[in-house]
Amino acid sequence: MRDPLRIAVLGSGRGSNFHAILSAMHEGRIPNADVRLVISNNSKAGILELASANGIPAEHLSEKQCGSEEAFVARLLTLLQRHEINFIVLAGYMKRVPRRVIEQFRHRIINIHPALLPKFGGPGMYGTHVHEAVIRYGDRVSGATVHLVDEAYDHGAIVLQKSVAVEPHDTAESLAAKVLKIEHEIYPEAIRMIAEGRA
């Protein structure tokens, strides 16, 4: 039997992907994995409330609050160690993961991106900017991608992707809603694949 995934989720916002992951876990769809810690750089993030409501330790932690990148990294690594975390899930985390953390968790950090990488990824490609770009370029297909996190934005190996049609009447908002639905399907599925050693 593989080592169970002891997951920390890092997020900055509402946490709908985290919610989808938790629901899948509660329904027994992701055996061999549990979320042990949620961290947000934003003290008001919905993801922290969601964690607390589910009895999961929720920590507000940011570089700003720590005063320097070094102090932030030290505090982050201490927290991860204290909760015996062996896998990190980024769910709407709007900050760059520090290099030392990537090195310590090489191939053990995943992210979800609201487009079909390698298209529409990289610096500046986040949130509504992604969907605006897809529509501007006239692509007929978009989707969501779960990928490993390395030192470059939206660059690591792809774990899972699913596409949606872009209709002529779609706006950035309507496309974002369609893609988010797909995200909620593939993120729990990708974690299940990893927990089962299939990815």
Sites of contact with ligand GRF (CB under 6 A): 11, 13-17, 91-92, 112-114, 180, 183
- Whose CB is nearest to ligand GRF? 92
Catalytic residue among 113, 131, 147, 184: 113
Distance in angstroms (rounded) separating the CA atoms of residues 13 and 49: 10
Q: Is 113 a catalytic residue?
A: yes
Token pair 């609201």: residue: 114
State in angstroms the smallest separation of the CB of 197 from ligand GRF.
25
Comparison of 4 and 127: residue with beta carbon closer to ligand GRF: 127
Question: 58 Cβ partners below 8 Å, 6+ apart?
Answer: 37, 38, 39, 40, 47, 48, 49, 51, 52
Comparison of 111 and 192: residue with beta carbon closer to ligand GRF: 111
84: tokens are: 């015996």
State in angstroms the smallest separation of the CB of 115 from ligand GRF.
9
State in angstroms the smallest separation of the CB of 68 from ligand GRF.
26
By residue count, the chain amounts to 199
156: tokens are: 């690591």
Residues assigned a catalytic role: 113
